[in-house]
Every structure is written in structure tokens, then in C-alpha cells.
Amino acid sequence: MTVFAAMGVMITSAAVVIYSAHEADELWDPMKLVGTIQQVAVVAISMFTVVVSTLAVNIALRTSSLLFSANDFANALPKLISFAHGC
């Protein structure tokens, strides 16, 4: 997740320099940035990267929120609810 975030900042910062004719605010939106690119292969790779990044973030957040919720349920009624049942 850190690599994806760092890549996003570096690519967008480079796009501000490369696409200086465009508004800088537009280039911080990944969809608008990819919309300025004409090569199909670059667009396909960019969209694949967006999908993988979205999945990675959502999986990590859902897993951590599940563990926190399971602990809450298990601690609320420890005799009735185990960690496994809380999940």
C-alpha cells in the first residue's frame, strides 16, 4: 500500500511538469490524468494498477475492522462469545 501511495505522488508530480498546459488540480484526479494519455497499453496498465490498489486497500481495511469488531464482541460477553464467534 505504501508503494502504491508513493507511486501515485511521484506520477502525479511528474504529470504536473509534463502536462503543464493542463490545470494542476485536474491532474491530481487519477481518472482525469489517465484520460489525457493516448496510448492504449499505458491506459490499460494504469487502470489495472488502480484496481489492484483499490482491492489492496479495501482488503486490508476490512480485515482490520473485522478483527477490531471481533475483539469488541468477545470482550462484551466473554463467557458467551469467543473470538471466533465474534468474527
Distance CA 84, CA 87 (A): 5
- At residue 10, the pLDDT reads 87
- At residue 75, the pLDDT reads 85
Q: Let me know if 15 is exposed, middle or buried by CB neighbors in 10 A (0-12, 13-18, 19+).
A: buried
- At residue 40, the pLDDT reads 92
> 27-69 pLDDT, tens per residue?
777 777 788 788 999 889 988 988 888 888 777 777 777 777 7
pTM of the model: 0.54
Distance CA 82, CA 56 (A): 28
- At residue 14, the pLDDT reads 85
- At residue 41, the pLDDT reads 93
